[in-house]
Structure 1
Amino acid sequence: MSVIDAHVAAGDLPDLPTLGVDDLLRTLDDVGVERAVVGPVGRWVAVDNEDGNRTLAGWVGAHPHRLAWWATVNPWYGRDRAGAELRRAFADGACGLKLVPSVQGFGLLSPLLEPVLDVVEEHGRPVYVVTGVPVASEPLQLAELALRRPGLRFVMGRSGRTDFSLDLLPALTTGPNLVAETAYNGAALITRLVAELGPGRVLFSTDAPFNDARLELERVGRAGLTDADRAAVLGGSATAVLGATW
């Protein structure tokens, strides 16, 4: 069964663990993950977007059969600067846009975000949003954004776990352009997500190295899914969401 990890983290965080490309590949091999999508963290998300995007593009260029990458831009850089960098990153092979509102300093419903989303929609790419941070990035905020932008597909990173997921299912069921992510969520919730949304709208991810990749795989295994549904969650859904960019 093919396993695709929809988000692992890489970047410059002096006080937190991060993975270089060699360590990342070893981690994937150790737990049996065939391919992974790398997302920037730390200063690469907050301020040094181009540096992070170019570095991850280099990793993927060296290992195209194992890795893909999420680009990022900070919406505060404005239509011209952020838009130009995002277009360059998409031309360089980025599979979609990653946003971390709590780090990048904006609210999900801010007009600041609109020019960046316009570029994503022009290119037909998905948007990965780290959710579960009260005020900045909660599930129902992303649900409202998805309603406003029906031409985009949004991945609800972490599925709101760090704010206890109280509004998760009401948010995810508002529209078909919202996709759940498994990271940090227990087997029972994964079971319910698949039942409520269908396996094609649930993505497996580990968020390694901040989270234990082996544990995340075990949670999916304990969810009691059929073989077909488990195959979709662990790989098929990611292939569908990322499309030709993978």
Structure 2
Amino acid sequence: MTGEAADPNTAGTPAAADGAGAGAEVIRVERVSKRFGPVTALRDINLHVARGEILGLIGDNGAGKSTLIKILTGFHRPDSGRILFEGTETRLRSVAHARSLGIETVYQDLALIDGLPVYLNLHLNKELTHGPLPFLRRREMRRRAREALDSVGIEIPSVTAEVGQLSGGQRQAIAVARSVHSDAKLLLLDEPLAAMGAREGTQILRLLRRLKQRGDLAIILIAHNYSQVVDVCDRVNLLQHGEITFDRRSADTSVAELLELVHAEYRVEA
């Protein structure tokens, strides 16, 4: 984190000795709480994710998932608690600050421009130009776009194809590739499998497995399909009424158990 030690808004703690390696902790949230007027959105949240790990974050609507993600992206600031990024306590001042550290988010709306080709969407707001002249280095951007897609195994026939002509799975994959191409260290995925068919969902799950195998990226996946969560995630956190009530390795849980936990509060005793 270049320059963070000198930042008056950032308190420093010693970085982990293995902070650069696979398996090193990327982010840790400790006792984070957030209120909006009389409403408590988050209560004493504790969460951590390491490089090469996918954490599944589940919970019903209104549980606090969106608030937590907005805190991790710098959009909201917590009322209490602290966030450690790569071993250093950090106050995320803004979305731009979070992105400068390597925290990238792919929302459901994807933020792609349908009328632009794939390679320009991958370089959106980061276009390459010829020195001081405002002329795009299109050939170089096409080359880098193809490399970025190939590096994570995304099959797009042509980087010059308009994004609006692609399938939902391909569009989602491009949005993920753009974040990874931006040297992300923590990738937050907000319902990337929502409203997708089985074939497109399989494509995204395959992409997530490839990203996990690379070992240089921590991922938090918000999803409602518990079968997919258990399949692709290393751990599962359940968020209920602003609190994480469940944290377990995916290998040690099941879809049936997750469904039982999520829906137990709605059952009415006979």
Fold-level similarity (TM above 0.5): no
Larger RCO (CA under 8 A, 6+ residues apart): 2
Which structure is higher in strand share? Answer: 2
State which structure, 1 or 2, has the greater radius of gyration over its C-alpha atoms. Answer: 2
More helix by share: 1
Q: Give the structure-2-normalised TM-score.
A: 0.36
TM-score of the pair, normalised by structure 1: 0.39
